[in-house]
Amino acid sequence: MVDLVYFQLLSAALFVIGMYGVLARRSAVLIVMSIELMLNAVNINLIAAASHLGYRSVGEAFTNFDGQIIAIFVITVAAAELGLALAIILRIYRNRGSVNVDEVDLMKW
C-alpha cells in the first residue's frame, strides 16, 4: 500500500497550484478553474486519509466512509458553485464585455 504522505504531497501540490491560480490570474474563468483545482486537492486528501483510516488494522473490513461522504458533498457543492459562478461570470461578461477581475472593483466602499 502506498504511503499516505505521497497522496498528501500530491494534494498539497495541487492546492498550492490552485491557490497560485486564484491569486495570480486575471480571468474570472481561470480563477474558477483554480478554485476547482483546490477543491479537488482537498478531495484527494480526504479520500486518501479516509481510505487510510478506514481500516482499524490491515486486513480488516472497511468500516469508515466519512471521508468519501464528505468528498461527495464537496463535489456536489463544487458543481453547484461552479454553475452559480459561471452564471455570474456570464452576466459580468454581458455587462462589461470582459471577465477581467481587475475591472470589476465595485465591491468596495
Partner 1 sequence: MEWAWLIPVFSFAAAPLIVVLGRVLPGSGSFLAILAIAAGFALFWWVFAGFLGAGAGTENCLVSAHTGTLTCHYQMAWFHAGLAGAAGSVALTWGIIVDPLTVAMLGLVTFVALMVQIYSLGYMRGDSRFGWYYAVHALFAAAMLTLVLADNFLLLYVAWELVGICSYLLIGFWHERPAAKEAAKKAFIVTRIGDVGMLIGILLIWREVGSFSMFDAFEAVSSGAMTEGVTTVAALLLFLGAMGKSAQFPFHVWLPDAMEGPTPVSALIHAATMVVAGVFLVARVYPIFSAYDGDALLVVAVIGLITALMASTIALVSVDLKRILAYSTISHLGLMMLSLGAFGYTAAIFHLLAHGFAKALLFLGAGSVMHGTDELDIRKMGGLRKVMPMTAFLFSLGALSLGGIPILSGFWSKDEILLAVNDHLNPAFIILALLTAFLSAMYMARAMFVTFFGNLRQEMEHAHESPASMIGPMALLGVLAAVFGFVGFNWPGSYQGIGSFLFFHEAEGFHFNWWLGILSMILAVGAFVLGYLIYIKDRVSLEGFRARIGGLIPVVENKYYFDEAYQWVVDRVVLVFANFIGLFDRIVINDLAVNGPANSVHRLGIAMRLHVTGHVYSYAMGMVLGTIALSIFWWFRSVS
Of 4, 19, 49, 85, which lies in the binding site for partner 1, with binding defined by CB under 8 A? 19
- Kind and range of the H or E run holding 46: helix 28-53
Which residue number, 72 or 104, has a Cβ lying nearer to partner 1? 104
Q: How far apart are CA 34 and CA 43, in angstroms?
A: 14
Question: What is the rounded CA–CA span in Å between residue 21 and residue 49?
Answer: 25
**Residue of 5, 60, 97, 108 interacting with partner 1 (CB under 8 A):** 108
Return the DSSP state at 101: G
* Closest distance to partner 1 from the beta carbon of 17 (Å): 13
Could you tell me the three cell numbers for 75? 463535489
1 CB-contact burial (10 Å; exposed 0-12 / middle 13-18 / buried 19+) = exposed
The reply on whether position 22 binds partner 1 by CB under 8 A is yes
Q: Which stretch binds partner 1 (CB under 8 A): 1-9, 18-26, 45-53, 76-84?
A: 18-26
User: Which residue type occupies 107?
Assistant: M
Note whether 23 binds partner 1 by CB under 8 A.
yes
Instruction: Write out the three cell numbers for 91.
Output: 452576466
Q: Which is nearer to partner 1, 82 or 101 (CB)?
A: 101
Of 5 and 109, which has the nearer Cβ to partner 1? Answer: 109
Applying CB under 8 A, does 102 fall inside the site for partner 1? yes
